[in-house]
């Protein structure tokens, strides 16, 4: 079985012409061969082939190169100013929310309790990718180490998943407050809020560790250029020198289940809240 993945041309300043990397994986009698070909147009610059057993993991890539948002220096300078401004505003806004909750001693309210942690996770989630992306806008070489890439991939899915779960939990808090106001403080006590918050972190960890585990076991023996501005699963999968169809399906199913499940819960909760409010208005 043979699979091929081609990246788009990139410019080499030393050779002054575009190069194309082609990584071809072949499987025969339980062994896998990765052929890496460097070419420019019709000119072949060389090949490299490595035979490995499925139980072995050959990784010749020690770092990845981002293509970034643009290859135009002027556009990158504009993007640097814009993204730096919005990232600063975003940080200050979330820090202000956290400071207000702490100074106002509002932790006894479940809504502010979750809102405080939502702001904290928001800061962590954006800080996983934004500082590196902003710095790369002015950098000549947009590189990241293999370990750094895996950590970034983990952080994006970890904090992103926690954020989704906290928003879902906050919807349940609103449901109890509106539909069962007399029992609100009994149902949403501090112990239950802590357990729900812990559940969001555990769920985020399980989701992200699955995503990372599926990627780190793949061999990377060819191109190392990521057509993105941060490390995410699908752009990295394109660089693996083996068949990633099954891994891609599992990754999509993992993220899709969480996203769709949370969306359905949010939809049902808000529908029940709206129906409850309508009944209360009709009753006067």
List, for residues 77-108, the tens digit of each pLDDT value: 999 999 999 999 999 999 999 999 999 888 88
pLDDT at 85: 97
pLDDT at 34: 52
pLDDT at 273: 87
CA distance 274 to 252: 32
pLDDT at 58: 64
pLDDT at 40: 46
pLDDT at 159: 97
Kindly state the average pLDDT of the residues 224-233.
89
CA distance 178 to 236: 45
CATH code that applies to domain 66-282:
1.20.1070.10
Per-residue pLDDT tens digits for 103-149: 988 888 899 999 999 999 999 999 999 999 999 998 888 899 999 99
- Tell me the percentage of the chain whose pLDDT exceeds 90: 49
CA distance 33 to 26: 5
CA distance 55 to 222: 19
For the chain, give every domain's residue range: 2-56, 66-282
pLDDT at 278: 83
Residue 90 to residues 40, 76, 209, 223, Cα–Cα distance (Å)? 44, 20, 27, 35
Q: How confident is the model at residue 11 (pLDDT cuts 50, 70, 90)?
A: very low
Q: How confident is the model at residue 3 (pLDDT cuts 50, 70, 90)?
A: very low
Task: Give start and end residues of each alpha helix (H) in the chain.
Answer: 73-103, 110-136, 146-179, 184-187, 190-216, 233-237, 245-282
| pLDDT above 70 (res 279) | yes
Residues contacting residue 81 through CB under 8 Å, at least 6 positions apart: none
Residues contacting residue 18 through CB under 8 Å, at least 6 positions apart: 9, 10, 11, 12, 40, 41
Q: How confident is the model at residue 57 (pLDDT cuts 50, 70, 90)?
A: low
Cβ(252)–Cβ(211) below 8 Å: no
Say how many CA atoms lie within 13 Å of 34 toward its Cβ. Answer: 25
| pLDDT above 60 (res 5) | no
Per-residue pLDDT tens digits for 144-192: 999 999 999 999 999 999 999 999 999 888 888 888 888 888 888 889 9
pLDDT at 23: 46
CA distance 54 to 261: 35
> How high is the mean pLDDT of the chain?
81
| pLDDT above 60 (res 33) | no
Q: How confident is the model at residue 284 (pLDDT cuts 50, 70, 90)?
A: low
């Amino acid at each position: 079985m043979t699979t091929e993945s081609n990246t788009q041309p990139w410019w080499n300043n030393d050779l002054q012409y575009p190069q194309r990397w082609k990584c071809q994986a072949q499987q025969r009698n339980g062994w896998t061969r990765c052929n890496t070909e460097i070419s420019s147009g019709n000119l072949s610059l060389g090949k490299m082939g490595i035979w490995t057993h499925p139980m072995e993991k050959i990784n010749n890539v020690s770092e990845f190169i981002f293509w970034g948002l643009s290859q135009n220096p002027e556009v990158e300078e504009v993007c640097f100013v814009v993204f730096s401004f919005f990232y600063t505003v975003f940080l200050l806004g979330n820090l202000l929310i956290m400071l207000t909750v702490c100074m106002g001693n509002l932790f006894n309210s479940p809504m502010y309790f979750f809102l405080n942690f939502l702001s904290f996770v928001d800061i962590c989630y954006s800080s996983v990718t934004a500082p590196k992306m902003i710095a790369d806008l002015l950098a000549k070489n947009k590189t990241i180490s293999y370990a750094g890439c895996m950590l970034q991939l983990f952080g994006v899915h970890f904090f992103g998943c926690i954020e989704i779960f906290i928003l879902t939990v906050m919807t349940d808090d609103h449901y109890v407050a509106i539909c069962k106001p007399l029992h609100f403080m009994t149902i949403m006590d501090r112990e239950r809020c802590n357990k729900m918050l812990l559940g969001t972190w555990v769920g985020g960890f399980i989701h992200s560790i699955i995503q990372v585990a599926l990627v780190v076991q793949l061999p990377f023996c060819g191109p190392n250029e990521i057509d993105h501005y941060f490390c995410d699963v699908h752009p990295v999968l394109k660089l693996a020198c083996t068949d990633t169809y099954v891994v891609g399906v599992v990754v999509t199913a993992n993220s899709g289940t969480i996203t769709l499940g949370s969306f359905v819960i949010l939809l049902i909760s808000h529908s029940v809240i709206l129906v409850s409010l309508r009944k209360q208005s009709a009753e006067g």
